[in-house]
Chains A and B, each alone.
Chain A
């Protein structure tokens, strides 16, 4: 299971990579593999205001359409438009080319509600039991 260090994780299997005021957001490798082949994503619009743990995107696989929740509150600054034509990037590269969007997050304190790599790894191992 691929769980890179230095990024934040949620219990709903989203991740956030923080770079100054900007957070890059995607779903974890574990989530992507559980969903199966991903066929479509619906991304939040640029400028849209997101709230931590609230719905922000949809990811559709051959099995189901699932909701994605914002790991942090803030404003969407850019979409990964590659995903529109190449949603399989999420399966192939969940943490790099398969990111969903970037956002300017508004509340530093919210980071405390997220997990680090070690905790997320433990959390997922717990789910498997």
Chain B
């Protein structure tokens, strides 16, 4: 759709229709002191000048580096079919599917997305998606607070700091007691959990694999959590679920995660994809939309938005959550991505990630001065200890053409010499060998 600005004549007509003299008139309810004196905007530029200015900005990016950075967001391959199908105007320009009689395509796509999320997580029900992994985790925590009527949250410090910060920020004006339990040798501390777990606890939140890349089987901890009537919440990395025990198998009540790895390109600020699945008894506490399958008056299969009575447009201030949208286009991309791979293909993708990371661990551990942490099994990301500050190594490696990892000192005190390295299916053996050679040269 082309952008057609209003002509001065249009503006004059519209103003006179509502009885206003000027556009400024429309803002006169705002006290002058609160209005900006000036917007400090530069003079207008031609299309060419704007393109050139933006190009200059874009060139500041270190594009084309071989990427070994993960830390919650991963460089996975996206088949061209994902763009081609999700870009079709039937999907791309459609509005909220409130009217099932004219939205069967979208509703079916979301229903299939939900079915995939349920299968991935091993849980009963999925919603139509949320904004990103962090907001999904926040909503899961709110579900637990509502369900239990309690106000204490135990948070594993292996949960991504970005997510922990989001939980604190969102709830800064609520009376919620947070306790963080430490990670010891890569794993969630059982001892600390048992120390803080009590009958005031609404939920315990874990991440698997945790921020250090360590994989854990939380089954024993989930069992303890349930003994106190609290809920167990897992934030998970979807690609790992082709290989690892699912949240459902471990007994978790709610699983959430960042769906970016499922066919959504890495980009600063998103849009990304939050997914959420839960046990069926929690379905009425779930935020946002849920698509259900039903039959029409002639018995034909069809899809509708269901359980809408929990939502804001019906329940107003007593709604389950203030989420009244979803990340439909990104959810569609995830559904297409996984459908293209199929069940076996997805398992293979998972295995490639695991095997390549194992290969990298083996190769890097041969470097003098580099210590690969092996206290826990890992999936496609792992921690190495360097002889000096990881931040400096990262900068030197950019010169060699590598984004070699995430310096853990940025998120964890006392870990300045630790580097977090992610290896996805996109990294070749050659790139991994070359990473090791360059690392050997710069440390």
Using CB atoms and an 8 Å cutoff, list the residues of chain A in contact with chain B: 40, 42, 45, 55, 58, 60-61, 64-65, 67
The 8 Å CB contact of B284, one of A40, A55, A61, A67, is A40
Which stretch from B28-36, B192-200, B307-315, B394-402 is at the chain A interface? B307-315
Find the B residue at minimum CB distance from A60.
B309
**A71 → B minimal CB distance (Å):** 19
Which B residue sits closest to A55, measured CB to CB? Answer: B318
Decide if B284 touches A42 in the complex (CB within 8 Å). yes
- Chain B nearest CB from A79 CB (Å) reads 15
A60 to B315, CA, bound (A): 10
| A65 in contact with B149 (CB, 8 Å) | no
Complex Cα distance A83/B198, Å? Answer: 30
Q: Which one of A40, A42, A55, A64 contacts B314 once the chains associate, using CB atoms below 8 Å?
A: A64
Least Cβ distance of A50 to chain B in Å?
A: 14
Closest Cβ–Cβ distance, residue B144 to chain A (whole Å): 16
Q: Are A45 and B149 in contact (CB under 8 A)?
A: yes
Q: How far is the CA of A60 from the CA of B284 in the complex (A)?
A: 11
Q: Considering the complex, give the chain A residue whose CB is closest to the CB of B311.
A: A65
List which B283-311 residues lie within 8 A (CB) of chain A: 284, 309-310
Instruction: Please name the 8 residue pairs, one residue from A and one from B, whose CB atoms are nearest each other, closest first.
Output: A65-B309, A60-B309, A65-B315, A64-B309, A64-B314, A65-B314, A67-B318, A65-B310
> Which residues of A are found within 8 Å of B309, using beta-carbon distances?
60-61, 64-65
With A55-B318, A65-B310 known, 12 other A-B pairs at CB within 8 A are A40-B284, A42-B284, A45-B149, A60-B309, A61-B309, A64-B309, A64-B314, A65-B309, A65-B314, A65-B315, A65-B318, A67-B318
Cα separation A64 to B314 with both chains bound (whole Å)? 7
Main secondary structure on chain A at its contact with chain B?
strand
Expressed in whole angstroms, the Cα–Cα distance for A61 and B315 within the complex equals: 12
Nearest-CB residue, chain B, relative to A40: B284
**Residues of chain B with a CB closer than 8 A to A67's CB:** 318
Complex Cα distance, B314 from A69, in Å, reads 18
Q: Could you pull out 7 A-B pairs where Cβ atoms are within 8 angstroms?
A: A40-B284, A42-B284, A58-B318, A61-B309, A64-B314, A65-B309, A65-B310
- A67 and B310 CA atoms in complex are apart in Å by 12
Which residues of chain B have C-beta atoms less than 8 A from A40's C-beta? 284
Q: How far is the CA of A42 from the CA of B309 in the complex (A)?
A: 13
Q: How far is the CB of A85 from chain B (nearest CB, A)?
A: 12
Residues in chain A near residue B315, CB distance under 8 A: 65
Kindly state the separation between the CA atoms of A42 and B307 in the bound complex, as whole angstroms.
Answer: 14
B318: chain A residues within 8 A (beta carbon): 55, 58, 65, 67
Q: How far is the CA of A55 from the CA of B315 in the complex (A)?
A: 13
Residues of chain B lying within 8 A (CB to CB) of residue A45: 149
> In this complex, which of A40, A65, A67 has the most chain B Cβ atoms within 10 angstroms of its Cβ?
A65
Interchain nearest-CB distance for A57 vs B (Å): 12
Closest B residue to A62 by beta carbon equals B309
Which residue of the partner chain A has the closest CB to B310? A65
Which of A42, A58, A67 has its CB near the most chain B CB atoms (within 10 A)? Answer: A58
- Least CB distance from B438 to A in Å reads 60
> Smallest distance from the beta carbon of A54 to chain B beta carbons, Å?
13
Query: In the assembled complex, how far is the CB of residue B219 from the closest CB belonging to chain A, in whole angstroms?
Result: 28
* Cα distance, A5 to B284, chains bound together (Å): 36
In the complex, chain B residues whose CB is within 8 Å of the CB of A42: 284
CB distance from A55 to the nearest CB of B (A): 8
B-chain residues with CB within 8 Å of residue A65 when the two chains form the complex? 309-310, 314-315, 318
- B346 → chain A, closest Cβ, in Å? 35
Give the CA-CA distance A40 to B284 in the complex, in Å.
Answer: 10
**Nearest opposing residue in chain B for A63, CB measure:** B309
B271 to chain A, nearest CB (A): 31
**How many angstroms between the C-alpha atoms of A120 and B310 in the bound complex?**
30
Determine the distance from Cα of A42 to Cα of B146 in the docked complex, in whole angstroms.
12
Residues of A within 8 A of B284 (CB): 40, 42
Q: Which of B309-352 contact A (CB under 8 A)?
A: 309-310, 314-315, 318
**Which chain A residues lie closer than 8 Å to B149 at the CB level?**
45
CA distance A65 to B310 in the complex (A): 7
- In the complex, which residues of chain B have a beta carbon less than 8 angstroms from the beta carbon of A60? 309
**CA of A49 to CA of B185 in the docked complex: distance in angstroms?**
46
Kindly supply a per-residue 1/0 record for chain B positions 373-388, scoring 1 wherever the CB is within 8 Å of any chain A CB and 0 otherwise: 0000000000000000
A40 → B minimal CB distance (Å): 7
Interface string of B45-79 (1 = CB under 8 A from A): 00000000000000000000000000000000000
Nearest CB in chain B: distance from A49 CB, A = 13
Cα(A64)–Cα(B316), bound, Å: 11
Considering only CB atoms, which chain B residue lies closest to A61 in the complex?
A: B309
Closest to A67 in B: B318
| A78 CA to B310 CA, complexed, in Å | 25
- Complex CA distance for A67 and B309, rounded to whole angstroms: 12
Instruction: Report chain B residues within 8 Å CB of A58.
Output: 318
